[in-house]
Homo-oligomer: A and B are copies of this chain.
């Protein structure tokens, strides 16, 4: 160890937060060697490697994110892109917690990138890509022909979509099988004698709208039930809109005797509308609803529910993005969540 190095780095010990320089001084090695020793590079002696790593742990060395990011371009950031007006409430927290679980023991941070109704959904994606603010992106409200997915594929940034696309392009996704949900829901309603069914679907334009609608239609013809059109509202509408539209349709002669609802909050509105029309849930009409937290049975015990686990979705999406970043083939990072069976609380499963 020559005199010059000692002098130059004397101050390294005085610093608040340890850097590679600090470690280099303490171990008597060069900064380069320390850097490589910490990441288990093969050309560093086994003994040296262990010594460096020990000292690093001892003094609580943590790589400076800005340094790494500046040098390598890697941000160690995953961005979750959310619509601040339209996303379902519990959806958001559950997804976040799911993502958090997975990235907890990685160097990744989770940033939330919001966009509002007024904005082009592509805006936040462009921002992320242009500023290189994230290594991976998670988006929801996925469309069959999704410009965001296309854009990210073109720009080579790893991402995962919550929901599938239908563009002939392959990318990681996690989706709930909404086709199966609709099919099971209709079968169940038919099983308890319901014949005239209405569907409160996801908003038109999102991929899972057509999945749901297709499952609903296919199951209708399978069981020989008929559809009461209910497509002037979707789960994106307000509680009040859904409620009054439900009341309206329930006052008609050919009112539905069964509902399939794609969201729990919307189900509250449907039930309110049913009761506004002076009808009774479980007697005049049955409702099968998705829910993400186990609360609907407290609301009305007559409700039939199917659980959707958003926390799982968050975890799967995070795993997919990290996988892609890590070099896995995008096609291997796709998963589909199978709906739970239709659950009843008052009525026994028949």
Contacts and interface: CB of A to CB of B under 8 A. Distances in A.
Interface stretch (A165-173, A248-256, A292-300): A292-300
A60 B299 contact: no
Using C-beta atoms within 8 Å of the partner chain, give the interface range for chain A: 35 or more
Nearest to A270: B298
A74 to B, nearest CB: 10
A37 B159 CA distance: 37
A131 B69 CA distance: 14
A112 B114 contact: no
A293 B90 CA distance: 12
B299 A89 contact: no
Contacts of A294: 239
A104 interface: yes
Interface stretch (A94-102, A175-183, A184-192, A216-224): A94-102
Contact of A130 (B62, B65, B272): B62
Contacts of A130: 17, 60, 62
B295 A265 contact: yes
A246 to B, nearest CB: 12
A44 interface: no
Given A93-B93, A100-B84, A67 B65 contact: no
Given A89-B293, A295-B239, A298-B239, A97 B110 contact: no
Interface string A61-77: 01011110110000101
A271 interface: yes
B298 A271 contact: yes
Interface residues of A, dominant DSSP: helix
B87 A93 contact: yes
Nearest to A131: B62
Interface string A113-149: 1100000000000000011110000000000000000
A277 interface: no
B92 A96 contact: yes
Contacts of A299: 268, 298-299
A111 to B, nearest CB: 5
A150 interface: no
Nearest to A88: B93
Interface of A: 17, 60, 62, 64-67, 69-70, 75, 77, 82, 84, 87, 89-94, 96-97, 100-101, 104, 109-114, 130-133, 239, 243, 265, 268-269, 271-272, 293-295, 298-299
Given A66-B75, A92-B93, A111-B111, 4 more contacts: A65-B69, A65-B133, A96-B96, A269-B298
**Lowest 6 A-B CB distances belong to which pairs?**
A92-B93, A66-B69, A100-B114, A66-B70, A268-B298, A89-B90
16 contacts: A17-B132, A64-B70, A66-B69, A66-B75, A77-B111, A84-B97, A84-B100, A96-B96, A97-B114, A111-B112, A112-B112, A239-B295, A243-B298, A269-B298, A272-B298, A298-B299
